[in-house]
C-alpha cells in the first residue's frame, strides 16, 4: 500500500513519509535514523505523533482514524474531520497568528495533518491547572483569540457573500456537530448508553437532573441555538485541553469541531473549564487553603476573559471602517441620524445576548462533564471518590444554575461571586 494511504501510521512509515517530502523533511533536522517518533495523543478522538530530530526540533502529525479513539471502533466517526480541522487551523492562523500553530501539509488520503510542533516547555493548560499553576497572561491571550476569530469570521466583518460561502463550507462538518448535539445536548439528560457518573455518590443528583423540566427546556433552547445560529466560525471544542501554554505564550489547537455557530459556545466552553478547575481545586489540596491563591486567580480569569473579550470585540467593531458594507453599520453608520448612539445600543444588545448564551453553554458543558460520556481530568484525578463527589456535586449544581438561570445574571461579577459562594 502506498504510504499516502496508510491508516494508522507506524513510526517507521512516518519517518519514510516525511523523508520523502522535501518541505516536510526540511522541518526535522538530522539523519532520519536518529529521529524519534512518539504517539502522544491524550485526547478523546485522534492519534497524534511527535517527530523529533536534532535539538528537539520537528513537527506534529495528527491522524484521524474512522472512529472515536477513547471508545473504539464501535463508535464510527468521519475521517473528513481532519480536513475541516486543517481548514479551521489555516483560517484561525490567518486571523490570529500569535495563538494558532502553522499547518505545513494536509494529506487527505491518510487524513493526516502535519503541523508546527509546540515543543516543551509548552504543556496542555489543563495539566498546569491541575498542578495549581497560575498563568497571568492567559486571559489576555484567550480573550484575544476569541474576540479576533469570532469577530473577523462574522457578518460584522465579512461581506455577506463571503460569509455565506464560509457558512456553507463549514456546514459540511455536520457529523462533528451531530456528535456535539448528542453528547452535550441530549445524552446527559436521559439514560444514554455511554453516560457515566461517580456512582453511587451522585445517583440522587443525576436522577434529579433527568426529572428536571427546567433543565430540559433550557438545554433544548440551547441545542436549537447551536444548530441554527450561524454567527461566527467557532473552534467548537475550546476546553482547557485544547490550549497549550508556556510562561509567556498561549496556543489554541484541535479545532476539528469547527463550524458556524453561536459565539457563546466557544466562550462558554472555555469559561466552563476554568470553573470546573475551580470546583475541582479542593480535591487537589493537601491541606485546606493550599489552593486559595490559585482559586482567586481562576476567579479573576473568568472575569477577565469575559471583560477583555467584550472590550476587544467592541474595539474591532468600532475599528471597522465607516462606510464599509459590514452589518449593521450599513444601517446604523455614524452618518445616519442618531447613528453613533444607535450603533452603541446595537453593540450593547448584541453582547448582552452573547453573554447569556455564554452562561447557558457554559452550564451545559459543566453538566456534560459530570454526567455524560467524556469527563475532565481535573475531577477524575481526585483519587478519593467521596471527595471527588463533593467537587463534582457543586460543579453540577452550578452548571444547572447557569443553564437554567442564565438570563438572571446581570454581569460576570455575579457569576464569579455565586461560584465562590457555592464552594
Residues forming the site for ligand SR1 (CB under 6 A) = 43-45, 68, 180, 183, 237, 373-374
Site string for ligand ADP, 148-167 (x = CB under 6 A): --------------------
Closer by beta carbon to Mg ion, 64 or else 354: 64
What count of other Cβ atoms lies within 10 Å of the Cβ of residue 89? 25
**Residue 106 belongs to what H/E stretch?**
strand 103-107
Q: Does 269 bind Mg ion (CB under 5 A)?
A: no
Closer by beta carbon to ligand SR1, 44 or else 300: 44
Phi, psi of 261 (to 5 degrees): -150, -170
Q: Report d(CA 211, CA 215) in Å as an integer.
A: 9
Site string for ligand ADP, 78-117 (x = CB under 6 A): -----------------------x-------------xxx
Quote the Cα angle for 306-307-311, to 5°: 115
Closer by beta carbon to Mg ion, 342 or else 377: 377
10-29 residues in contact with Mg ion (CB under 5 A) are none
Closer by beta carbon to ligand ADP, 180 or else 310: 180
Site string for ligand ADP, 237-276 (x = CB under 6 A): ----xx----------xx-x--------------------
Q: Does 184 bind Mg ion (CB under 5 A)?
A: no
374 binds, among ligand ADP, ligand SR1, Mg ion, none (CB under 5 to 8 A by kind): ligand SR1
**Residue 79 belongs to what H/E stretch?**
none
Given candidates 15, 27, 35, 43, which one binds Mg ion under the rule CB under 5 A?
A: 43
**C-beta of residue 125 within 8 angstroms of C-beta of residue 270:** no
CB contact set of 180 (below 8 Å; sequence gap of 6+): 226, 236, 257
Q: Does 41 bind ligand ADP (CB under 6 A)?
A: yes
Given candidates 45, 65, 155, 326, which one binds Mg ion under the rule CB under 5 A?
A: 45
Closer by beta carbon to Mg ion, 28 or else 404: 28
Q: How far is CA 191 from CA 186, 195, 371, in A?
A: 10, 7, 10
Cβ neighbourhood burial of 176 (10 Å; 0-12, 13-18, 19+): buried
Least Cα distance to 215 among 406, 404, 396 occurs for 404
Q: Does 107 bind Mg ion (CB under 5 A)?
A: no
Closer by beta carbon to ligand SR1, 157 or else 240: 240
Pick the piece of the chain touching ligand ADP (CB under 6 A) from 35-43, 267-275, 298-306, 406-414: 35-43
Q: Per 3-state DSSP, what percentage of the chain is helix, strand, and coil (rounded to 5)?
A: 55, 10, 30
Least Cα distance to 104 among 32, 26, 24 occurs for 24
Q: Report d(CA 304, CA 291) in Å as an integer.
A: 20
CB of 256 to ligand SR1, least distance (A): 8
Q: In this chain, which residue has its C-beta nearest to ligand SR1? A: 44
Q: Report d(CA 333, CA 317) in Å as an integer.
A: 12
Q: Does 256 bind Mg ion (CB under 5 A)?
A: yes
Contact footprint for Mg ion (CB under 5 A): 43, 45, 254, 256
Contact footprint for ligand ADP (CB under 6 A): 40-46, 48, 60, 62, 101, 115-118, 124, 241-242, 253-254, 256
Amino acid at each position: 500500500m502506498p504510504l499516502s494511504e496508510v491508516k494508522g501510521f507506524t513510526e517507521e512509515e512516518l519517518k519514510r513519509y516525511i523523508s520523502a517530502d522535501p518541505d516536510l523533511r526540511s522541518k526535522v533536522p538530522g539523519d532520519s535514523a536518529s529521529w524519534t517518533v512518539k504517539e502522544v495523543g491524550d485526547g478523546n478522538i485522534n492519534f497524534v505523533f511527535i517527530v523529533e530530530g536534532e535539538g528537539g526540533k520537528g513537527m506534529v502529525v495528527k491522524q484521524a482514524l474512522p472512529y472515536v479513539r477513547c471508545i473504539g471502533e464501535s463508535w464510527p466517526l468521519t475521517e473528513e474531520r481532519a480536513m475541516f480541522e486543517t481548514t479551521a487551523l489555516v483560517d484561525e492562523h490567518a486571523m490570529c497568528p500569535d495563538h494558532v500553530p502553522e499547518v505545513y501539509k494536509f494529506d487527505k488520503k491518510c487524513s493526516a495533518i502535519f503541523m508546527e510542533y509546540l515543543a516543551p516547555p509548552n504543556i496542555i493548560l489543563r495539566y498546569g491547572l491541575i498542578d495549581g499553576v497560575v498563568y497571568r497572561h492567559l486571559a489576555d491571550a484567550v480573550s484575544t483569540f476569541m474576540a479576533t476569530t469570532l469577530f473577523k469570521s462574522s457578518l460584522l466583518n465579512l461581506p455577506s457573500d463571503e460569509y455565506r460561502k464560509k457558512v456553507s463550507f463549514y456546514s459540511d462538518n455536520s457529523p462533528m456537530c451531530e456528535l456535539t448535539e448528542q453528547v452535550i445536548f441530549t445524552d446527559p439528560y436521559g439514560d444514554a448508553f455511554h453516560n457515566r457518573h461517580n456512582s453511587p455518590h451522585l445517583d440522587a443528583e443525576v436522577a434529579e437532573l433527568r426529572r428536571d423540566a427546567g433543565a430540559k427546556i433550557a438545554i433544548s433552547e440551547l441545542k436549537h441555538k447551536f444548530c441554527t445560529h450561524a454567527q461566527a466560525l467557532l473552534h467548537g471544542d475550546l476546553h482547557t485541553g485544547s490550549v497549550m501554554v508556556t510562561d509567556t505564550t498561549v496556543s489554541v489547537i484541535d479545532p476539528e469541531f469547527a463550524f458556524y455557530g453561536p459565539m457563546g459556545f466557544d466562550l462558554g466552553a472555555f469559561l466552563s473549564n476554568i470553573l470546573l478547575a475551580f470546583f475541582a481545586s479542593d480535591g487537589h489540596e493537601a491541606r485546606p487553603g493550599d489552593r486559595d491563591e490559585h482559586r482567586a486567580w481562576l476567579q479573576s480569569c473568568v472575569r477577565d476573559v469575559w471583560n477583555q473579550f467584550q472590550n476587544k470585540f467592541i474595539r474591532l467593531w468600532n475599528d471597522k471602517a465607516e462606510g464599509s458594507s459590514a452589518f449593521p453599520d450599513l444601517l446604523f453608520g455614524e452618518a445616519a441620524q442618531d447613528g453613533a448612539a444607535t450603533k452603541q445600543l446595537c453593540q450593547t444588545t448584541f453582547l448582552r445576548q452573547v453573554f447569556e448564551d455564554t452562561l447557558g453553554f457554559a452550564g451545559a458543558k459543566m453538566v456534560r462533564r459530570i454526567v455524560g460520556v467524556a469527563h475532565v481530568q481535573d475531577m477524575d484525578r481526585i483519587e478519593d471518590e467521596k471527595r471527588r463527589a463533593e467537587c463534582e456535586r457543586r460543579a453540577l449544581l452550578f452548571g444547572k444554575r447557569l443553564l437554567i438561570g442564565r438570563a438572571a445574571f446581570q454581569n460576570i461579577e455575579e457569576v464569579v461571586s455565586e461560584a465562590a459562594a457555592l464552594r
